[in-house]
Amino acid sequence: MIKQIVVLMICILCILLFTSTDKFSATISDRDQKIKQIEVEIENNMKTHDIPGMAFALVDSNGIIYSKGFGTLDIREDTQQIDENTNFNLGSLSKVFTTIAIMQLQEKGLLRIEDPVVNYLPWFKTRDALMSNQITIKHLLNHSSGLPSRLNVHEVKSVDRREIKIQISDKLRNVMLVAKPGETFEYTNMNTDLLQIIIEEVSDVPFTKYMDENIFKPLGMNRTGYFTFDDQQLSNTAIGHRYHWGKIKPFKEKLVYATSSSAGLSSNATDLAKFMMCLLNEGGNSYG
What pLDDT digit, counting tens, does each position of 5-16 carry?
A: 444 444 444 444
Of 196, 220, 199, 260, nearest to 85 by C-alpha is: 220
Whether residue 171 is contained in a domain is answered as: yes
Which segments of the chain have a pLDDT < 50? Answer: 1-22, 25, 230, 288
Domain termination site, one of 159, 182, 209:
209
**What is the C-alpha to C-alpha distance for residues 233 and 240, in angstroms, rounded to an integer?**
14
Whether residue 159 is contained in a domain is answered as: yes
Claim to verify: residue 50 and residue 156 sit in the same structural domain: no
What range does the domain containing 189 cover?
95-209
Q: Given this model, what pLDDT does residue 28 score?
A: 66
What does the pLDDT look like over 183-238, one tens digit per residue? Answer: 999 999 999 999 999 999 999 999 999 999 999 999 999 999 987 654 556 788 88
The enclosing domain of 175 has a CATH number of 3.40.710.10
Domain termination site, one of 209, 226, 253:
209
Helical H segments across the chain, by residue range: 9-13, 21-24, 28-48, 94-107, 129-132, 137-141, 161-172, 189-203, 207-211, 260-263, 269-280
DSSP 243: E
Domain termination site, one of 188, 209, 230:
209
- Residue 63: φ, ψ to 5°: 155, -170
Say whether 269 sits in a helix, a strand or coil.
Answer: helix
